[in-house]
Structure 1
């Protein structure tokens, strides 16, 4: 006999903070002006997800968790297709006048919640099953206990103020980071006679005033230590590593944070030390000026983004950032550019082999992380290194581990730009007396 309560477990609704009254499972997007193929797939996937929910949740823990994972995966496919449909139309308003941008925000918010739940189900399945078996005696209790456990898990992950929606990243010792980057790369010069100093920009290849050049994190500050431990195998904390930085003119540092640019090896054949170059992903900005050199410290007065597209980085010594950090940043920006549908960026960065170094002390990226990145970017793991077991995970290379790795990457791509500006404002407002001042628009 059917349960008197409609058994629709929808924790993503309870775990999101959207203030918009939008139900993405209603027919609200069915009439969107997108391609027929996208519309048919969207409606078909939504029908299948609805049927799975209408079947109702099982009464016992193990089948319930299996069913819930199927629901989450089904709804993720729907959200991906809804996002695709919205990207294919220039203008969209619902009957209440809500614009396209609000729907995109809600789709991404629910997608983020679903991905967090999927990672939770995959990584904690056994423990979760045991815990739920201990506390539930009915179907209603099972559903409620599951949502409670999911919420507790997500709150525990954020208890140390590590990155989740609405939380700031832990504040790092920025002065210490600047000092170790400048020392390692030789990018700060102090003149004893006057006490003045200048900084070297690794992209422009010129000395400039210290307030116009920043020490940029390659792996962003918005990534938390738990994510870092999962991805990188070295003992050195990535965020404070001297190999996790570059010295960049302020607007170039901002472009790196916003995924407008990437830094890749100049040649496919490894050189010692490695030569690096800039590639502009946001090609719509090519002709826009980012820096006006009023003090004539460089060889031109106006610098446009096209002037650094393909430009080799200039180093003061043989020290270089870690390849694994630069590769992770490259893949991260690639995924962001694809999500933004930036034109022609794939032509500038053709797929090839993963160039992240697997050798210690340079460290490595997990094989599961690299495999998931390769699926998205088209990069292949080098056969000789795979056969040698260089890229193996230290604990497991199971399918579940690979899926969790892929989810971690996706979550970071979605979450980084949401938090980067708030993080910058927070750092700059509390950094009174420190070296860098807040950036101003050109």
Structure 2
């Protein structure tokens, strides 16, 4: 198994983590920003072929998480030997944890958002269906204070025009604002760094094609925290 970082660790430098998630968000270097995954699954998570979303979007705190496969290219790829070992078999599979600790939900939402932005940017096959699916089905509890509203907008529109209705719904349902007001230049720079971190994480994952790890359970994550900033 390998510890997969949900938000790239180097985003914590220069207070980027606080800009994205608020000053009271957990430290990105703590266990709440990681998932213990089998190597093959960790690579698909890092390269945005799979998402990990709440089983029940009305649950608070979120204790149950599941895998959603959002890329047809991995459906026939193997992640384990034997029956149920194909990528398609992961779709809808609930994760198991070793204890009561869970990943921080705002970090999981960041990965969810960046995955949607990424597949649209590279025009991955079927991205329109994925966007439509998650526009119709709210996968995270709403309303939720996951990210600053200004950062949600900057991240979602960094590569150009996005569906205005969808982005506005994200801001309304998942964003928050605080007394700390960011300038447009600050939000754009933070968005640029976030996207650069995403691309570097993808490059690292693509550079390591080992799929030999044998345990796919997940555990030892930090407890979720969702305080307002």
Report the structure, 1 or 2, having the larger helix content.
1
Query: Counterpart of 1:216 in 2: which secondary structure?
Result: strand
Q: What is the CA–CA distance in structure 1 between the aligned matches of 2:182 and 2:45, rounded to whole Å?
A: 32
Q: What is the CA–CA distance in structure 2 between the aligned matches of 1:272 and 1:224, rounded to whole Å?
A: 24
2:123 to 329, 341, 361: 341
Q: What is the CA–CA distance in structure 2 between the aligned matches of 1:397 and 1:325, rounded to whole Å?
A: 20
Look up the match of 1:249: 38
Alignment partner of 1:218 is 2:2: no
Query: Counterpart of 2:195 in 1: which secondary structure?
Result: helix
Look up the match of 1:148: none
2:75 to 273, 281, 286: 286
| Number of matched pairs | 200
Query: Counterpart of 2:106 in 1: which secondary structure?
Result: helix
Shift of 1:420: 4.5
Q: CA 1:245–1:350 in structure 2 vs 1: closer, same or farther (change >3 Å)?
A: same
Q: CA 1:273–1:229 in structure 2 vs 1: closer, same or farther (change >3 Å)?
A: closer
Q: What is the CA–CA distance in structure 2 between the aligned matches of 1:419 and 1:273, rounded to whole Å?
A: 30
Q: What is the CA–CA distance in structure 2 between the aligned matches of 1:415 and 1:217, rounded to whole Å?
A: 13
Look up the match of 2:196: 411
Contact 2:8–2:197, Cα closer than 8 Å, also in 1: no
Alignment partner of 1:367 is 2:138: no
Query: Counterpart of 1:417 in 2: which secondary structure?
Result: helix
1:238-277 equivalence runs, <5 A: 238=28, 240-277=29-66
In structure 1, the gaps of 5 or more residues are 1-212, 294-299, 359-363, 426-437
TM-score, length-scaled by structure 1 = 0.39
Query: Counterpart of 1:264 in 2: which secondary structure?
Result: strand
Contact 2:67–2:91, Cα closer than 8 Å, also in 1: yes
Q: What is the CA–CA distance in structure 1 between the aligned matches of 2:52 and 2:148, rounded to whole Å?
A: 21
Shift of 1:398: 4.0
Q: Deviations over 1:28-66 (max 9, x none)?
A: xxxxxxxxxxxxxxxxxxxxxxxxxxxxxxxxxxxxxxx
Look up the match of 1:100: none
Contact 2:51–2:70, Cα closer than 8 Å, also in 1: yes
Alignment partner of 1:232 is 2:21: yes
TM-score, length-scaled by structure 2 = 0.70
Contact 1:369–1:409, Cα closer than 8 Å, also in 2: no
Q: CA 1:247–1:397 in structure 2 vs 1: closer, same or farther (change >3 Å)?
A: same
Query: Counterpart of 2:198 in 1: which secondary structure?
Result: helix
Contact 1:282–1:337, Cα closer than 8 Å, also in 2: no
Q: Which has the larger radius of gyration?
A: 1
Q: What is the CA–CA distance in structure 2 between the aligned matches of 1:258 and 1:416, rounded to whole Å?
A: 8
In structure 2, the gaps of 5 or more residues are 214-229
Q: What is the CA–CA distance in structure 1 between the aligned matches of 2:30 and 2:7, rounded to whole Å?
A: 10
1:150-165 equivalence runs, <5 A: none
Shift of 1:260: 1.4
Q: CA 1:345–1:306 in structure 2 vs 1: closer, same or farther (change >3 Å)?
A: farther
Q: What is the CA–CA distance in structure 1 between the aligned matches of 2:57 and 2:128, rounded to whole Å?
A: 17
RMSD: 3.3
Q: What is the CA–CA distance in structure 1 between the aligned matches of 2:139 and 2:189, rounded to whole Å?
A: 20
